[in-house]
Each structure stands twice: as C-alpha cells, then as structure tokens.
C-alpha cells in the first residue's frame, strides 16, 4: 500500500511524505526545494515530485492521497464556538456557520490541480481527508514506538477550527478527550506575542524562547492575556488572537494583537536589541505558556500519565523545548516523544500514517529524519564547476578525522552530508559545526556567518553516552526537541553551547543512525576530551536550510565561512589544510 501525505492545508509549510507498506521512505518541505521560507500560500508541488522520484514510483502507483484537513460538520461545537467568539467580526462569524468548510474545499481544489499537473488522474486513487489535529496526533503517537497506553497532546495555532488537543492512544487507536477552538489558541497567543516582540509568527517563536532566559518572568504580569481556571482557558481577544479591524497595524500590515496591547505594554519592539522591558515580556509569556499547558496536561491526561508514564506531543507548540524540559522533569513521566517535524510540515506524515493505521497497515517507529535529497560526489563536483565563484575544491579522505582537526583549530565548517533532514532542526545532514570549547566561536557564527541576533543560543550534537555525563536528566534526545540543565563541570568544558540559563538544547546521537557524523564526534572527543560539536543549521537568517550543493555554495560565498565539506569534497576560500 502506497500512501502519499500532503501538508500545506493551513497556508504554510507545505510538504510531502511517502509511506510504502508502513515504511516512511521520503519526506521533504517545499520551502527547501523552492528556496522560499515556509512557502506560504504554496502547494507541495516540488516536494511531491521528489518523494515519488526518491521511491522510484509513478503517480499511477499511489493508492491513497491523505491530507491534514477535513470538513467540519455544522453540528460540531467548533464552528459555533468560532462564530460566538468572533461576534465582533460578523463577516467571519457568519461565514463559519454558513460556509464553514470553504477553506477545505479550496484546498482540495488546489491539491487536485497540483496533482493533475504532474500526471495524477483524479479518481484513480483514494482521497482521504484527516482532521488536522488527528494528523498531528498520529504523527507523534504512531511514530513514537510506544506500545503502552499513551497520553497525546497537540498544541498549535489552529487547524480547521481546533487549536489544542488532548487524548490518548491505545492499541494503535487515537481517542479524543478534549479540544479547544479558535480564537482560544495557546499557539496563537504565543505567536501574537512573538509579533509584538518584533519577530515573524511561525519563525520567531524560537527567538522569543531564546530571549526569555535573559529576563525576569515575575517583573511583568501578563496573566490578563488569558483566563485560565485549571481546566478551561479563554484568550482575551481585546488584546490578542484577533482578526479584522481589531488588529494593530503598522504601515498597512496587520498583527495578531490589538492597539490596546500596545497601550498596555508600550511600543512594539524594533531591531535586534534584547533589552528591558522586552526580555521580561519574553520571560513572562514563556512562563505563562508553560503554566497553562502543564495545568491542562495534568487535568486531562494526569491519570493516563501516572498509569504508563508515556506522552506523545505534536503541533508547533511542541517545539517549545523549555516546556518540554518541564514535562520530562515530572517524576511520573517516563518518556516524552516529540515528533521532530511537529509543526504543520509534519502533518503530511501524520495524515499518511493515520490512514495507514486505519487500513490495518502499521507504521514503523521513527528512528531518524534523514528523509530528503542526497547527492553524490560527482554531483557536488559538477555544482562546483558550474558555480560563478569558481570555488577551490578537492576530494579528500578520512572526512571525520580531518574535519575534526579543522574544528579543533577554531574554524567553523559547513557540513553537508547524506540525506537532508525533515523538520526545522539541523541534525548533521545540513549543519554548520564548530568546536564548543573554542572561545568566541558562537559569536563569530552569529555575527559573520548566520547574520542573526547575538543572543541566539547554539545547540550541541553529542554522543549519546556523553549526554549522560553532561546533563542532569537522562532522557533520549535524538532530535533537539528538549533542553537539559547542564552539569557544572560541562559548563566550562563546552561553554559555547550552554545558554544563559545553564541549559542546552541537545541532539544525543546513537551509533548506526548517521555514522559519519557520529564518527566526527568521536574524533572531537579524541582531540578535546569532549564528544560534542556545536551545531546550527546551514542557512543564513531568513533563508530555508540549504538543500542542494548549489544552495550550499551560495550560502558559503555569502558568508565568512572558510570551509565547506560536501560528501568527500572539501571547498575552501584560502589554502587547503596541509593534512588533507
């Protein structure tokens, strides 16, 4: 059974994923292929082409196309809740009641046109819509490998109408316990405050999280943003999560907060400086988000968690690694699985896995996210020869050993190896790596290579056995979806990957997953005593992570990077190291 999952239903982060008999063989975000971050308003056209090509199949071979958006009945609470809460915008309110599946119909029409343009025949395959939050839930529960009864959470901006999901999985089936509906959205509230703090929604939430440790969460009380009683919450739409005329506007652009929020908190933050009061607002919204999610988790899922200790978490809100740190610190939690592409791109996997399970075909546990394109040495050489900068390159041997020496000398290296990662985290496929014990390497990468805010933290990739020494909590961390408190000794051993609050967002790699990357860490351990590398994504500010050798070369020559290793091909701007 071949199932094609397609995301992009909510207007951003389109992607494609392909399951063949329960095995996830390929997945990629459209943004990487068309070089347009988040690919807003686009369909996953090139992504679909790629996954078919990767599997060596034709459109006629696909049995089912699954999408993470479904029609919602007028009898559902969702549409009535939306209409009631948006009474101040009667055009939207009435639309929810009388034309409430308009977005779904438009999406299906666009998917059909896209598929037909690349050789699909509508009607020759089954078309299966999956509710957005069920797709999120499936993407984490069914891929977690958990066999016990599992608590499931989903937190994001919104799907069709739902914004927050609590349920459980048992014997492969997903059961809903509680959903909340737009505009009562925790992801939406965090996104609105992200905009107020000077960043773009969908892209800047990580930056707010990175800014928060510099502030005092108790200095400003933001609790009036949300009414929370322990089991229900309601967003204050006089301040945030608004549509239409209530929005605050600058130069014709509308934001998801109101002028009343600006009257209360002061002007919207501008520029890159992280200072008072904005660092304190960031700390406060992070603390508020954690308080509400943890409270809801306890209320709706507490008994299930106490029973088995297993939680699966997805949605854009699951990428909040500080929240995840608080969850795994709970004594009743044995293991938390956060699907690494837990934002909307991951719903392509979710829709496809959900349909597969519904049809009786189990899906494999997710062991890695190296699901995108890869390139041969010959293709790398061809890209180098064709590039207008006429790069200096040569094929070298003993890649991990030689690149470890370059890192040990204090040089960051662009590391382009194997299949590209699926999801927002660079995990050793398309990364910039550095030596985390070398003073100033993080500032250099921020200022001269990534061109991003100086206070943004960097993450460590490490040997899994090193993680057990470095962190105070022992928990699997293959995907950089958790932060951990760093033991005192290690704060001085690898200071460039320890954040302001003494934590690190880690990737702890086991052998057999990405052997060349693992060996690089082993070589770093021989040279420095630490089986750790600094790791950040191979891109510049505002750009998608690179996909192809040409993308990598463009990024290389647009920055202060001096070394780029693509498969076995080393590209340099100066002289080659004498040892290669």
Do 234 and 227 touch, CB atoms closer than 8 A? yes
What is the distance between the alpha carbons of residues 471 and 127, in angstroms, rounded to a whole number?
Answer: 46
This prediction's pTM: 0.96
Residue 318's nearest CA partner among 231, 211, 209 is: 209
Q: How many beta carbons lie within 10 A of that of residue 331, not counting itself?
A: 7
Residues 382, 514, single domain; the answer is: yes
Q: Which residue has the tokens 């699926």?
A: 422
Res. 459: pLDDT tops 90: yes
Q: What is the mean pLDDT of the chain?
A: 96
**pLDDT tens track for 533-563:** 999 999 998 899 999 999 999 999 999 999 9
77-85 helix and 90-98 helix, angle to the nearest 10 degrees: 170
Residues 384, 499, single domain; the answer is: yes
Residues 170, 199, single domain; the answer is: no
Which residues, including other chains, have CB under 8 Å from residue 533's CB and lie 6 or more apart? 407, 433, 434, 435, 436, 460, 461, 462, 520, 521, 524
Residues 405, 485, single domain; the answer is: yes
Residues 354, 235, single domain; the answer is: no
- What's the pLDDT at 64? 98
Residue 133's nearest CA partner among 80, 91, 84, 181 is: 181
- 289, 308, 327 - which closes a domain: 308
Which residues, including other chains, have CB under 8 Å from residue 500's CB and lie 6 or more apart? 213, 214, 455, 457
Which residues, including other chains, have CB under 8 Å from residue 386's CB and lie 6 or more apart? 550
Domains of the chain: total: 3
**pLDDT tens track for 387-422:** 999 999 999 999 999 999 999 999 999 999 999 999
Provide mean pLDDT across the span 133-140: 98
Surface-to-core class of residue 521, CB atoms within 10 Å of its CB (0-12 exposed, 13-18 middle, 19+ buried)? buried
- 287, 308, 329 - which closes a domain: 308
Q: In what order do the strands lie in the sheet with 335-338?
A: 173-181, 162-170, 150-155, 310-314, 335-338
- What's the pLDDT at 453? 72
What is the distance between the alpha carbons of residues 378 and 388, in angstroms, rounded to a whole number?
Answer: 18
Res. 199: pLDDT tops 80: yes
- What's the pLDDT at 448? 82
Strands 392-395 and 569-572: antiparallel
Residues 113, 166, single domain; the answer is: yes
Q: In the structure, what pLDDT confidence band is assigned to residue 9 with cuts at 50, 70 and 90?
A: confident
Query: CA neighbours within 13 Å on the CB side: how many for 51?
Result: 32
- What's the pLDDT at 455? 64
Query: CA neighbours within 13 Å on the CB side: how many for 129?
Result: 18
What is the distance between the alpha carbons of residues 124 and 61, in angstroms, rounded to a whole number?
Answer: 10
Res. 274: pLDDT tops 80: no
Residue 423's nearest CA partner among 345, 366, 347, 317 is: 345
Domain that holds residue 391: 377-572
Q: How many beta carbons lie within 10 A of that of residue 97, not counting itself?
A: 13
Residues 115, 235, single domain; the answer is: no
* Tokens representing residue 193 in the block: 């405050």
CA dihedral 139, 145, 149, 153 (to 10 degrees): -30
Do 436 and 460 touch, CB atoms closer than 8 A? yes
Residue 332 in domain: no
Residue 322 in domain: no
Res. 271: pLDDT tops 90: no
Rg of the chain in Å (alpha carbons):
23
Residues 215, 300, single domain; the answer is: yes
Before 277, cis peptide (omega within 30)? yes
Residue 121 in domain: yes
Query: H or E segment at 18?
Result: strand 15-20
Provide mean pLDDT across the span 455-471: 92
Res. 503: pLDDT tops 80: yes
Residue 180 in domain: no
In 301-403 the beta strands, taken as DSSP E runs, fall at 310-314, 335-338, 392-395
Before 183, cis peptide (omega within 30)? yes
Q: In the structure, what pLDDT confidence band is assigned to residue 203 with cuts at 50, 70 and 90?
A: confident
Residues 170, 192, single domain; the answer is: no
* Tokens representing residue 4 in the block: 């094609």
Residues 475, 512, single domain; the answer is: yes
In degrees and rounded to multiples of 5, residue 417 shows phi and psi of -145, 130
Residue 410 in domain: yes
Express as a percent the part of the chain with pLDDT over 70.
Answer: 100
What is the distance between the alpha carbons of residues 66 and 131, in angstroms, rounded to a whole number?
Answer: 10
Residue 320 in domain: no
Res. 429: pLDDT tops 70: yes
Query: CA neighbours within 13 Å on the CB side: how many for 544?
Result: 22
Do 89 and 245 touch, CB atoms closer than 8 A? yes
CATH number at residue 158: 3.30.420.40
* Tokens representing residue 383 in the block: 């890209």
Surface-to-core class of residue 386, CB atoms within 10 Å of its CB (0-12 exposed, 13-18 middle, 19+ buried)? exposed
Q: In the structure, what pLDDT confidence band is assigned to residue 29 with cuts at 50, 70 and 90?
A: very high
Provide mean pLDDT across the span 371-396: 98
Res. 324: pLDDT tops 80: yes
Q: How many beta carbons lie within 10 A of that of residue 215, not counting itself?
A: 24
What is the distance between the alpha carbons of residues 371 and 47, in angstroms, rounded to a whole number?
Answer: 12
- What's the pLDDT at 70? 98
Q: How many beta carbons lie within 10 A of that of residue 121, not counting itself?
A: 10
* Tokens representing residue 490 in the block: 């290690």
DSSP 3-state of 512? coil
What is the distance between the alpha carbons of residues 362 and 350, in angstroms, rounded to a whole number?
Answer: 13
Res. 454: pLDDT tops 70: no
Residue 405 in domain: yes
* Tokens representing residue 519 in the block: 């060996």
Residue 324 in domain: no
Residues 427, 539, single domain; the answer is: yes
CATH number at residue 482: 3.90.870.20
DSSP 3-state of 494? coil
Residues 484, 386, single domain; the answer is: yes
- What's the pLDDT at 450? 82
CA dihedral 58, 63, 67, 68 (to 10 degrees): -130
């Amino acid at each position: 059974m071949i199932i094609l999952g397609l995301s992009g239903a909510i207007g951003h982060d389109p992607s494609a994923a392909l399951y063949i008999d329960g095995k996830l063989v390929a997945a990629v975000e459209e943004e990487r292929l068309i070089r347009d971050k988040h690919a807003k308003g686009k369909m996953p056209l090139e992504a679909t082409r790629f996954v078919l090509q990767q599997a060596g199949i034709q459109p006629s071979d696909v049995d089912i196309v699954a999408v993470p958006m479904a029609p919602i009945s007028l009898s559902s609470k969702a549409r009535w809740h939306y209409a009631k809460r948006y009474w101040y915008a009667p055009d939207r309110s009435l639309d929810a009641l009388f034309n409430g599946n308009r977005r779904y119909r438009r999406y299906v029409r666009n998917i059909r046109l896209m598929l037909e343009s690349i050789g699909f025949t509508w009607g020759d395959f089954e078309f299966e819509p999956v509710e957005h939050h069920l797709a999120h839930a499936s993407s984490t529960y069914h891929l977690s490998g958990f066999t016990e009864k599992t608590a499931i959470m989903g937190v994001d901006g919104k799907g069709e109408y739902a914004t927050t999901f609590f349920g459980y999985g048992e014997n492969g089936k997903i059961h809903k316990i509680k959903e909340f509906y737009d505009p009562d959205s925790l992801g939406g509230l965090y996104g609105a405050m992200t905009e107020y703090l000077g960043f773009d929604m969908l892209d800047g939430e990580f930056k707010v999280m990175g800014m928060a440790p510099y502030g005092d969460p108790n200095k400003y009380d933001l609790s009036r943003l949300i009414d929370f009683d322990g089991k229900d919450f309601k967003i204050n739409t006089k301040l945030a999560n608004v549509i239409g005329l209530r929005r605050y506007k600058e130069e014709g652009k509308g934001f998801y907060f109101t002028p009343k929020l600006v009257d209360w908190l002061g002007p919207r933050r501008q520029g890159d400086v992280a200072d008072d009061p904005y660092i304190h607002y960031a700390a406060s919204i992070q603390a508020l988000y954690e308080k509400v999610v943890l409270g809801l988790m306890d209320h709706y899922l507490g008994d299930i968690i106490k029973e088995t200790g297993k939680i699966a978490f997805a949605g854009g809100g699951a990428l909040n690694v500080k929240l995840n740190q608080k969850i795994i610190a709970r004594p009743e939690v044995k293991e938390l699985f956060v699907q690494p592409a837990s934002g909307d791109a991951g719903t392509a996997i979710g829709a496809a896995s959900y349909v597969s399970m519904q049809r009786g075909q189990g899906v494999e546990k997710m062991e890695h996210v190296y699901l995108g394109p890869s390139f041969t040495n010959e293709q790398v050489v061809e890209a180098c020869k064709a590039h207008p900068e006429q790069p200096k390159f040569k094929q070298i041997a003993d890649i991990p050993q030689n690149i470890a020496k370059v890192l040990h000398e204090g040089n960051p290296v662009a590391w382009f190896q194997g299949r590209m990662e699926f999801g927002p985290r660079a995990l050793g496929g398309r990364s910039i790596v550095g030596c985390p014990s070398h003073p100033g390497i993080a500032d250099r990468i921020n200022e001269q290579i990534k061109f991003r805010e100086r206070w943004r933290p960097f993450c460590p990739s490490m040997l899994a056995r090193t993680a057990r020494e470095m962190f105070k909590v022992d928990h699997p961390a293959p995907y950089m979806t958790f932060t951990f408190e760093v033991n005192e000794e290690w704060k001085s051993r690898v200071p460039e990957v320890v954040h302001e609050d003494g934590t690190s967002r880690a990737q702890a790699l086991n052998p057999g997953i990405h052997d060349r990357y693992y060996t690089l860490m082993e070589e770093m351990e021989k040279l420095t005593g630490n089986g750790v590398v600094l790791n950040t994504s191979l891109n510049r500010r505002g750009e998608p992570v690179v996909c192809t050798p040409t993308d990598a070369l463009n990024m290389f020559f647009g920055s202060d990077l001096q070394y780029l290793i693509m498969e076995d091909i080393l590209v340099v701007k100066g002289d080659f190291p004498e040892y290669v």
